[in-house]
């Protein structure tokens, strides 16, 4: 055990100083197993493997009145599972991960639940880590005592979050932008309290199956080993199941008078928190790259962005201001925001709105476009310079049904963006009379 810990420490030290990637490794499609798609990127620089299982079981599938169910279904997997050797409680699972020097993490986003494994590629350690993750993925126990404890912890965290302006702002902003789409709903004390062990087991049985999964692997394994990993992970997962109701279409934000699309929320805060945005594009949309490059100019480029210049540099209204597109497989939004002094909320909102409106109308200048493309292209190697970042990219590519050569063509697609494309894309997908606005904590003057 001591030797293993010393070896792991050396690996981690090396990992921290991995040099930038010079050659972009290809994404290899593996054999389909239990209806699940699987992909591999081989990297030999370190004896490590990063594995992700993406499940089409995100927050958007929470039933009415039980927001938080998807998150709890995934989160409670690490607190108990059935393995080939019997029941494993949370202490035993934690001890096994510590003994392996591995991590197994679970998370849930709007679209999907994600299980991630990071382990050494040494055969015995890799096999044990995969077996442990497979038990958590396929046969979680959902012990009633653990459920009661975690529900109470979640409720306590929700009550605390309600005292934080950032949380209240984002919760209200989601409701306003998503409208009738399921992602408009957020967990509440009532919805968490309504979740039962039967709900968790039913949700897991309904959604955690092969035809709703994608496995992505990055690391020091061969194609044959990767196929073995996929089969070991999904061995006890059912291939399919009963039909699942289709989600409603995420509609474009409607044109509304300002009074109907702006929400003022009183809040005891010295800062006014402002969010502005609307529904936008999916990741597979052909206009993704013009919007990406354009937004770097508008608000995604940090201190060199148009919003930073107008809001901070010229007027000193905020320390930070941002804008971004958050595209997914089936839904996407555009959001901009800032924090400012409470009595400057109205002025800051006006500057934010005017700057975005002008950019939609006129687009970037030639010099701004050139600088944005240069920054994005030159910074691209830093997006894929280790296994974890590679896995993030591979996961996004395969989840969003993008071409498998996207890693290789990304910079070319950025370079090909023109001024006309940026302006046309912003005018096509964004409009000020469709923007939803939430202002929290500002004093009306």
How many residues can be counted in the chain? 445
Confidence at 3, pLDDT banded by 50, 70, 90: very low
Chain segment 256-304, per-residue pLDDT in tens: 787 788 999 999 888 999 999 999 999 999 999 999 999 999 999 999 9
Beta bridge partners of 279: 333
Could you give the residue ranges of the DSSP H alpha helices within 274-415?
Answer: 288-295, 306-307, 345-362, 366-378, 387-399, 406-415
> How far apart are the two ends of the chain, measured CA to CA in Å?
66
Sign of CA dihedral 174, 175, 181, 183: positive
Helix (H, G, I), strand (E, B), or coil: what is residue 245? coil
Helix (H, G, I), strand (E, B), or coil: what is residue 240? coil
Q: Which residue has the higher pLDDT, 45 or 366?
A: 366
Confidence at 379, pLDDT banded by 50, 70, 90: very high
CATH number among 3.40.50.720, 3.20.20.140, 3.40.50.300, 3.30.830.10, domain 258-440: 3.30.830.10
**Whole-angstrom distance, CA of residue 75 vs CA of residue 95:** 18
Chain segment 335-348, per-residue pLDDT in tens: 999 999 999 999 99
- Indicate the pTM of the whole model: 0.91
Mean pLDDT of the region 129-152? 97
**Whole-angstrom distance, CA of residue 381 vs CA of residue 38:** 24
Instruction: Return the percentage of the chain with pLDDT > 90, whole number.
Output: 87
Chain segment 53-72, per-residue pLDDT in tens: 999 999 999 999 999 999 99
pLDDT at 253: 79
Residue 11 pLDDT > 50: no
**What's the count of helices (H) and strands (E) in the chain, helices before strands?**
17, 13
Residue 138 pLDDT > 80: yes
Confidence at 22, pLDDT banded by 50, 70, 90: low
Cβ atoms 111, 329 nearer than 8 A: yes
Chain segment 72-127, per-residue pLDDT in tens: 999 999 999 999 888 999 999 999 999 999 999 999 999 999 999 999 999 999 99
Which residue has 């009633």 as its token pair? Answer: 144
Residue 377 pLDDT > 80: yes
Residue 308 pLDDT > 70: yes
Beta bridge partners of 414: none
Chain segment 207-222, per-residue pLDDT in tens: 999 999 999 999 999 9
pLDDT at 258: 79
Residues of the chain with CATH 3.30.830.10: 25-234, 258-440
Beta bridge partners of 337: 275, 322
Cβ atoms 265, 439 nearer than 8 A: yes
Cβ atoms 148, 420 nearer than 8 A: no
Mean pLDDT of the region 121-134? 97
**Whole-angstrom distance, CA of residue 42 vs CA of residue 156:** 43
Cα 65 to chain center, whole Å? 24
pLDDT at 337: 97
Q: Which residue has the higher pLDDT, 253 or 17?
A: 253
pLDDT at 260: 81
The CA distances from residue 30 to 27, 41, 115, in Å, are 10, 10, 19
Beta bridge partners of 132: none
**Whole-angstrom distance, CA of residue 177 vs CA of residue 200:** 28
Residue 445 pLDDT > 80: no
CATH number among 3.30.830.10, 3.40.1410.10, 3.20.20.70, 3.40.50.720, domain 25-234: 3.30.830.10
CA atoms within 13 A on the CB side of 206: 17
Confidence at 16, pLDDT banded by 50, 70, 90: very low
């Amino acid at each position: 055990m001591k030797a293993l810990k010393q070896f792991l420490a050396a690996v981690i030290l090396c990992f921290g100083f991995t040099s930038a990637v010079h050659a972009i490794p290809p994404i290899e499609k593996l054999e389909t197993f239990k209806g699940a798609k699987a992909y591999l990127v081989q990297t030999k620089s370190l004896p490590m493997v990063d594995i992700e299982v993406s499940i089409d079981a995100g927050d958007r599938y929470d039933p009415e009145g039980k927001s938080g169910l998807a998150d709890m279904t995934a989160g409670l997997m690490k607190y108990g599972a059935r393995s080939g050797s019997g029941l494993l409680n949370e202490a035993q699972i934690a001890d096994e991960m510590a003994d392996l020097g591995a991590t197994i993490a679970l998370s849930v986003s709007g679209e999907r639940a994600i299980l991630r494994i990071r382990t050494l590629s040494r055969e015995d350690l890799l096999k044990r880590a995969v077996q442990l993750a497979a038990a958590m993925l396929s046969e979680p126990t959902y012990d009633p005592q653990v459920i009661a404890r975690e529900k109470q912890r979640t409720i306590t965290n929700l009550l605390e979050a309600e005292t934080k302006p950032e949380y209240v702002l984002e919760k209200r902003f989601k409701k306003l932008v998503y409208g009738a789409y399921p992602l408009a709903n957020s967990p509440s004390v009532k919805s968490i309290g309504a979740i039962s062990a039967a709900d968790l087991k039913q949700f897991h049985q309904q959604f955690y199956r092969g035809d709703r999964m994608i496995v992505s692997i990055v690391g020091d394994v061969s194609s044959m080993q990767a196929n073995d990993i996929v089969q070991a992970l999904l061995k006890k997962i059912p291939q399919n199941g009963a039909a699942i109701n289709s989600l409603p279409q995420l509609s474009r934000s409607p044109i509304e008078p300002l009074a109907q699309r702006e929400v003022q929320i009183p809040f005891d805060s010295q800062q006014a928190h402002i969010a502005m945005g609307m529904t936008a594009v999916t990741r597979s949309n052909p206009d993704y790259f013009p919007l990406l490059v354009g937004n770097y100019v508008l608000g995604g480029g940090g201190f060199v962005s148009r919003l930073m210049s107008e809001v901070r540099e010229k007027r000193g209204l905020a320390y930070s201001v941002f804008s971004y597109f958050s595209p997914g497989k089936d839904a996407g939004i555009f959001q901009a925001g800032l924090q400012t002094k409470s009595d400057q909320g109205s002025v800051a909102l006006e500057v934010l709105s005017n700057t975005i409106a002008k950019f939609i109308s006129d687009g970037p200048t030639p010099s701004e476009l050139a600088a944005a493309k240069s920054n994005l292209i030159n910074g691209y190697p830093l997006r894929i310079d280790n296994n974890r970042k590679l896995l993030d990219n591979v996961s996004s590519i395969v989840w969003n049904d993008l071409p498998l050569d996207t890693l290789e063509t990304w910079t070319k697609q950025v370079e090909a963006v023109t001024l006309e494309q940026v302006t046309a894309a912003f005018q096509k997908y964004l409009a000020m009379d469709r923007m939803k606005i939430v202002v929290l904590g500002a004093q009306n003057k």
